[in-house]
Amino acid sequence: MLLTALVLSLTITGNWLTELKEAYDAFILPSNPSSLNHSGLSHAEIAYLTLENPWNVANSALYVVSTLLGDGFMIYRLYIVWARNKYIIIPPALMSMSLAVTGSMVTYLFSRSAEAPIFATAGAWITASFTLTLICNLYSTSLIAFKIYLSNRRLARLHTQRVGFNKIMEILVQSAALYSFCLILSLATYIASSNLVLITVGATNPIIVRFSFQCIMAITQWIS
């Protein structure tokens, strides 16, 4: 788990660095960022619309890897909390594998695009990626919370002291709500063909960190 956490930190850091490079190329490197070239596009538009640019492709690949690792964390926690029940993790595992396919296709299509808008490049593959990770995390978080709820009810009937149930549920619900909100916002802005999707996607990675490690803290407290 520690190794996965380190890899997740590296991929998210790499994702941030590629985003900084894109912003540098768009707004700092040009002497006059607002000037238009022969095609009628500004430097910023060129930087962000040229999806086949290696930095954009790397950004997409790192985002997909970060999302897969975050989902993997959640599936592993679900597996542990449900007493290593293999059947309970079949649906999210299948969704995670599907996400690996759709995310890889998005990255591949970006690398093959020819200055086409992001909304016309990967189409249904991007929509499927957002939807899969959203459902995967809602499924896993709901079942983890439900298992903790059942355990605390049994402890209450045995007149045993509860193990910080309210605090654990608060962490799980807040983390899941924040991450889900970010994913829904990204999905909605993409479907609406809004450039705001670039902001919402960029904000999702730090949410993955919060979502993963706060839930680890919650379940560690529950188990102990």
- The span from the CA of 161 to the CA of 106, in Å, is 49
- 15 near 62, Cβ under 8 Å? yes
Residue 106 near residue 122 (C-beta atoms within 8 A) = yes
Torsion from C-alpha of 95, 100, 102, 106, nearest 10 degrees: 150
User: How far is residue 32's CA from residue 213's CA, in Å, rounded to a whole number?
Assistant: 42
Q: With CA atoms as reference, report the closest residue to 171 among 120, 219, 208.
A: 219
- Residues 3/65/61/98 CA torsion (nearest 10 deg): 150
CA separation for the pair 174, 180 (Å, rounded): 10
**b/e sequence 65-78, b meaning 16+ C-beta within 10 Å:** bbbbbbbbbbbebb
pLDDT band, residue 194 (cuts 50/70/90): confident
- Does the pLDDT at position 67 exceed 60? yes
Number of residues written out for the chain:
224
| Domain ranges for the chain | 2-223
**Which amino acid does the sequence have at 44?**
A
Region 28-56: mean pLDDT is 71
Instruction: List, as own/partner pairs, every contact residues 102-107 make where C-beta atoms lie below 8 angstroms and the sequence separation is at least 24, other chains included.
Output: 102/126, 102/128, 102/129, 102/132, 103/63, 103/64, 103/67, 103/68, 103/129, 104/64, 106/60, 106/64, 107/57, 107/60, 107/61, 107/64
The angle at the Cα of 145, spanning 143 to 147, to the nearest 5 degrees, equals: 70
* The overall pTM is greater than 0.75: yes
User: Which of the four pLDDT bands, split at 50, 70 and 90, describes residue 164?
Assistant: low
The string of pLDDT tens digits covering residues 53-66 is 888 899 999 999 98
CA angle 195–199–203, rounded 5-degree value: 155
Q: What pLDDT is recorded for position 49?
A: 74
Query: Which residue matches tokens 């829904």?
Result: 184
pLDDT at 53: 84
The 10s digit of each residue's pLDDT in 174-189 is: 566 677 788 888 889 8
- Please report, for the chain, how many H helices and E strands are present, in that order: 8, 0
- pLDDT tens figures, 99-137: 999 999 999 988 887 666 666 777 889 999 999 999 998
